[in-house]
Amino acid sequence: MVRWLICLIRIITFRPEEKFEYINIKDIEITNISITKIVKLKFDLNSIINKNFDYIIFTSTLGAKYFMEEIKKQNHEEILKNKNIIAIGKKTAEYLNNDCIIPENQSSKGIIKLIEKNSNILLIRSKNGNPYLVKKLREIGNLQIINAYKSVIIDDKDYEYIYIKMKNNYFNAVIFTSSFIFRSYVKVFSKYGNPLEILPNLIIAIGERTGNTIKRFGIKPIIMEEPDIKLSVIKVIQYYNSEILF
C-alpha cells in the first residue's frame, strides 16, 4: 500500500469574474480563467406585484442578489412577505437572509419535490438556466419566470497559453460549475486543438445537469450534488491524498 501525496495541487476553474470566490487553502493553487461573463437583465416588477405566488424559487446566488437589489430599489420588498421561498443552496439563502427552504437534494429535482400541484410559482433564474426545471414546474402548476441575468461567452481573448499549460499537464484537476461553462470551454478551446484531450485526469462537475453534459462527450466526471465550489475543492484534495492500492 502506497500513499501518494502531491505537495501542490493545481486546480483550474472557468467561472465568470462575478461568481469567482477566492479560496485560501494551504498547498492548493487555483487558477480561474473567465471564459464567460454575466450580463444583468432588466425585468419589470409590475407583472408580479399583485400576484399571489405560493412559491418563489431562486436557483442561483446572482439571481437572488439581483432580485433583492431590484425590489429594494423599487420599494417592493413586500413581494417576498408570507411566501414559501425556496433557495437552491446555502449561499443563495444567505442573500435572502436565510429565511427560506433549501431542498435536501440541492438540485432541480430537489426543488420539484417541494412544490405542490396546482401552485402559483415564480422562478427567478438565469436566462441560460435549466430547461428541465422550467418544463417540470409548468407541469406542476402556473409558472411565471423572471430572467435576472444571462451568461455570455467571452470569445475575443487569447487563451492559447492556458491551452498549452493544460496540454503539458500543469493542472491536477478541473472543476466545471455549470453546463453552460463546460460547453463554452469546448467552444473556446477548440480554436487551439482538441479541448477534451487536454483535460486533467480529475474532472469535477457541480450538479447533475453539468455532469450529464460532460458525459455526452464521453467523459466520466465526479458529480457533486451541492452547488458549493469549496466542497468541490475539498473533493480534489481527498482524491489526491487518498490511499492507492497496487
Reported pTM: 0.85
pLDDT of residue 197: 97
Q: Is the pLDDT of residue 2 over 70?
A: no
Q: How far is CA 84 from CA 100, 115, 138, 139, 147, in A?
A: 7, 10, 18, 19, 19
Q: Which residue has the higher pLDDT, 136 or 225?
A: 136
pLDDT in tens, 143-155: 999 999 999 999 8
pLDDT of residue 246: 30
Angle at the Cα of 150 (from 94 to 67), degrees rounded to 5?
35
118 touches 141 (CB < 8 A): yes
pLDDT in tens, 93-113: 988 876 799 998 888 889 999
Mean pLDDT, residues 185-190: 97
Helix, strand or coil, per DSSP, at residue 47: helix
Q: Is the pLDDT of residue 203 over 90?
A: yes
Q: How much of the chain exceeds pLDDT 90, in percent? A: 68
pLDDT in tens, 62-85: 999 999 999 999 888 888 888 899
66-92 burial string, b = 16+ CB within 10 Å, else e?
bbbebbeeeeeeebbeebbbbbbbebb
239 touches 175 (CB < 8 A): no
pLDDT of residue 241: 83
Q: How many CB atoms neighbour CB 191 within 10 A?
A: 12
> Model confidence at 5, in pLDDT bands (50, 70, 90)?
low
Q: How far is CA 134 from CA 143, 175, 218, 235, in A?
A: 8, 26, 27, 30
> Model confidence at 23, in pLDDT bands (50, 70, 90)?
confident
- The residue whose grid cell reads 490511499 is 243
Q: How far apart are the first and last CA of the chain?
A: 7
